[in-house]
Amino acid sequence: MRSSLLAILAATGTGCAHGLSRPITPADYPRTRPELTRYAETSHYADVRKFLDSLRNLGAPLRFGSIGKTTEGRDIPYIIASRPIVSSLAEAKQLGRPIVYVQGNIHAGEVEGKDALLALLRDLTFANKPNALDSIVLIAVPIYNADGNERFAPQSTNRTEQNGPEMVGTRANAQNLDLNRDYVKAEAPETRASLAMFNAWDPDVFVDLHTTDGSFHGYALTYSPSLSPAAVFGGIYARDSLLPVLRDRMHRNGFEVFDYGNFVSDERAPIADTSVREAWATYDSRPRFGTNYYGIRGRIGILSEAYSHDSLSKRIAVTYAFVNEILSLVAQKGTAIRSLSARADSQPLAWGRSPDSLQMIAIRSELTATPRKLDVIKEDLLKTGDSTLSQPGVPKGERRTGIFKAIRMPVYDRFTSTLDRVPPAAYVISPRDTAVVALLRLHGIRVDRSDSAWTARGDSFAIDSIITSPRPFQGHREVRLRGRWERGLQGLPPKSFIVSTAQARGTLIVYLLEPESDDGVVTWNLFGSELKKGGRYPVTRIFDLSRRGRAPARRSSASSLQEPQE
Ligand SMILES: [Zn+2]
């Protein structure tokens, strides 16, 4: 994957000078489709390509490439912006800068991320004054769900709770998959391409741009850090150190922003206290969602949700401002953020060396039981007494009033762990389970292979019950296992797969492989019909890899990685 990306980079490098015989002026800069249509229309795929071609033809100091192909074979463009320009992770590291990956259009009906990102890229690139591009490396992926983008239909069909534009794409990709539920199972080519980018560039910050479709609140944009309690580095840092600062700065820009959520009177959240009538509650902590996933990779994930009942021009403006402020803040806190990434990577390496350094990993969680009480702004809606449509996206027979009230209520903006597990030295996977191994490798996880049978002290999981979801979701019936770990000598067959947790993505390994995880390989049926009540989970926990005779095994594992049959 990396070599093909480099080939594209080499072929599309920006060495060429612009074709104009006079100096470039702002009149030459490309404009987005919303800018050209008074914010009546959003960009088609061809518009994005044309916009990027214009930047290239003007000799903009950018690198252009494709993260991979969509289901229907469209290239998913990416643009790298930094001053000076870089072409690889090594060059970015040499500059000692944080890398920020900003993605628009994962839900293609939610259009403003795509158009705001293009405009911001242009404006930062051509700015004469110093800006964030002097201190960070920006990777912009403006039209991630390119196939969904092209399924244009009226907003009243594709985005029922949105205030325009009139024609928008669909939420799902061409396989009818929701890409923001695919980050664990990685079934879509788009997800696989983005995981390859994450592995190749290892961004410190991932920003995912969306539009809400819920409550009538009083915020131009709502945001969320990684909500998984396993995101102990980037999740907590973003929540406590970045987002409060961003909120202040956005306020100074004239935009009220707040933690993402919905009023529970609109959408009942899983709040244990049933006496709660009204509250503000966030969404979900599981890594099927991109920004949660990214936190479990030990990095910072930020979800951005422009307010669907605002006009397209306002949604573009607030998304533009929010991303711009994120880039500036990351530029300012670059040293702290890079050292956070380094600490996240080195912690699992210590697990193998010193049992004292072991840290429990949260693999299941629930909404906090101790919400803070805060003011949340709500808009009053008025019943019109008839069935006319007052504004696209507002229910028929109701009208917005523009009357906003701050109401004090419980705010459920975080999750607490309900099940933690101590990482073993390694997980050993049955030689049969090649689909599991292939998935782990997509996540950038190193998997070795033993050449001979061996025995080791460890745990094996006895399956007491298998709970299968009655309803299919994203083409799966999700599975949950109940059972117990039993300690003893484990006999491991030759050709077993070995996943040492002493690697940068140790936390992700635990999350994916623990049988009781709320979003792991068990959830998504990676074991097919292999799991049986009363049987054993085909992944064993091993406490000490050194007894296996590690040095020679390492050499053989290096060659086994090349075996094509894996
Ligand atoms: Zn969305």
Given a cut of 70, whether residue 194 has pLDDT beyond it is yes
Rounded to the nearest angstrom, the distance between the alpha carbon of 341 and the centre of ligand 1 is 27
Written as six digits, the tokens of 530 are 């292999």
Residue 28 has a CB neighbour count (10 Å cut-off) of 14
Query: Distance (Å, rounded) from C-alpha 2 to C-alpha 561?
Result: 16
Pairing of strands 300-306, 205-211: parallel
Rounded to the nearest angstrom, the distance between the alpha carbon of 289 and the centre of ligand 1 is 10
Query: Distance (Å, rounded) from C-alpha 233 to C-alpha 342?
Result: 10
Residue 490 near residue 454 (C-beta atoms within 8 A):
no
Given a cut of 60, whether residue 556 has pLDDT beyond it is no
Rounded to the nearest angstrom, the distance between the alpha carbon of 27 and the centre of ligand 1 is 34
Per-residue pLDDT reduced to its tens digit, 103-139 = 999 999 999 999 999 999 999 999 999 999 999 999 9
Rounded to the nearest angstrom, the distance between the alpha carbon of 110 and the centre of ligand 1 is 6
Given a cut of 80, whether residue 353 has pLDDT beyond it is no
Rounded to the nearest angstrom, the distance between the alpha carbon of 306 and the centre of ligand 1 is 10
Give residue for tokens 């390492």: 554
Nearest partner of 414 among 207, 220, 232, 206, judged by Cα: 232
Residue 533 near residue 557 (C-beta atoms within 8 A):
no
Rounded to the nearest angstrom, the distance between the alpha carbon of 178 and the centre of ligand 1 is 9
Q: How far apart are the first and last CA of the chain?
A: 17
Rounded to the nearest angstrom, the distance between the alpha carbon of 65 and the centre of ligand 1 is 25
Rounded to the nearest angstrom, the distance between the alpha carbon of 173 and the centre of ligand 1 is 12
DSSP string, 280-330: EE-----TTSHHHHHHHTTSEEEEEEE-TTS-HHHHHHHHHHHHHHHHHHH
Rounded to the nearest angstrom, the distance between the alpha carbon of 42 and the centre of ligand 1 is 16
Rounded to the nearest angstrom, the distance between the alpha carbon of 506 and the centre of ligand 1 is 29
Rounded to the nearest angstrom, the distance between the alpha carbon of 350 and the centre of ligand 1 is 37
Peptide bond into 34 cis (omega under 30): no
Peptide bond into 84 cis (omega under 30): yes
Pairing of strands 221-225, 300-306: antiparallel
Residue 253 near residue 215 (C-beta atoms within 8 A):
no
Per-residue pLDDT reduced to its tens digit, 269-292 = 899 888 999 999 999 999 999 999
Q: How confident is residue 547, by pLDDT bands cut at 50, 70 and 90?
A: low
Mean pLDDT of 59-86: 97
Rg of the Cα trace of the chain? 24
Per-residue pLDDT reduced to its tens digit, 199-254 = 999 999 999 999 998 799 999 999 999 999 999 999 999 999 999 999 999 999 99
Given a cut of 60, whether residue 560 has pLDDT beyond it is no
Strand (E) positions, 413-523?
Answer: 415-421, 426-429, 448-449, 454-468, 479-492, 497-500
Rounded to the nearest angstrom, the distance between the alpha carbon of 151 and the centre of ligand 1 is 16
Rounded to the nearest angstrom, the distance between the alpha carbon of 196 and the centre of ligand 1 is 22
The CA-based angle 518-284-395, given to 5 degrees, is 140
Rounded to the nearest angstrom, the distance between the alpha carbon of 171 and the centre of ligand 1 is 7
DSSP state of 241: I
Per-residue pLDDT reduced to its tens digit, 299-332 = 999 999 999 999 999 999 999 999 999 999 999 9
Rounded to the nearest angstrom, the distance between the alpha carbon of 176 and the centre of ligand 1 is 15
Rounded to the nearest angstrom, the distance between the alpha carbon of 191 and the centre of ligand 1 is 15
DSSP state of 522: T
| Count of alpha carbons within 13 angstroms of residue 314, beta-carbon side | 15
Per-residue pLDDT reduced to its tens digit, 296-307 = 999 999 999 999
Q: How confident is residue 545, by pLDDT bands cut at 50, 70 and 90?
A: confident
DSSP state of 546: G
Give 205's strand partners. 100, 300
Rounded to the nearest angstrom, the distance between the alpha carbon of 106 and the centre of ligand 1 is 7
Residue 353 near residue 404 (C-beta atoms within 8 A):
no
Backbone angles phi, psi at 303, to 5 degrees: -90, 130
Nearest partner of 285 among 338, 231, 239, judged by Cα: 231
Rounded to the nearest angstrom, the distance between the alpha carbon of 209 and the centre of ligand 1 is 7
> Global pTM?
0.93
Rounded to the nearest angstrom, the distance between the alpha carbon of 303 and the centre of ligand 1 is 9
The identity of residue 68, as a single letter, is G
Rounded to the nearest angstrom, the distance between the alpha carbon of 105 and the centre of ligand 1 is 8
Rounded to the nearest angstrom, the distance between the alpha carbon of 513 and the centre of ligand 1 is 28
Nearest partner of 537 among 484, 477, 492, judged by Cα: 484
pLDDT given at position 566: 32
Rounded to the nearest angstrom, the distance between the alpha carbon of 104 and the centre of ligand 1 is 10
Per-residue pLDDT reduced to its tens digit, 3-46 = 343 333 333 333 345 656 788 888 999 999 999 999 999 999 99
* Mean of pLDDT over the chain: 92
Rounded to the nearest angstrom, the distance between the alpha carbon of 330 and the centre of ligand 1 is 24
For 535, residues 6+ apart whose C-beta sits below 8 A from its C-beta are 462, 463
Rounded to the nearest angstrom, the distance between the alpha carbon of 107 and the centre of ligand 1 is 5
pLDDT given at position 93: 87
Rounded to the nearest angstrom, the distance between the alpha carbon of 232 and the centre of ligand 1 is 24
Written as six digits, the tokens of 537 are 């989970």
Distances (CA, A) of 172 to 46, 180, 322, 507: 19, 9, 25, 29
Rounded to the nearest angstrom, the distance between the alpha carbon of 9 and the centre of ligand 1 is 30
Nearest partner of 425 among 550, 287, 520, 559, judged by Cα: 550
Nearest partner of 423 among 363, 368, 366, 358, judged by Cα: 358
Residue 119 near residue 172 (C-beta atoms within 8 A):
no
**What crossing angle do the helices spanning 312-332 and 334-353 adopt, rounded to 10°?**
70
Rounded to the nearest angstrom, the distance between the alpha carbon of 396 and the centre of ligand 1 is 23
pLDDT given at position 214: 78
Q: For 183-197, 340-354, 357-371, 526-540, which range has the lowest pLDDT when averaged over its residues? A: 340-354
Nearest partner of 91 among 11, 196, 201, 193, judged by Cα: 201
Residues of the chain above pLDDT 70, percent: 92
Residue 440 near residue 447 (C-beta atoms within 8 A):
yes
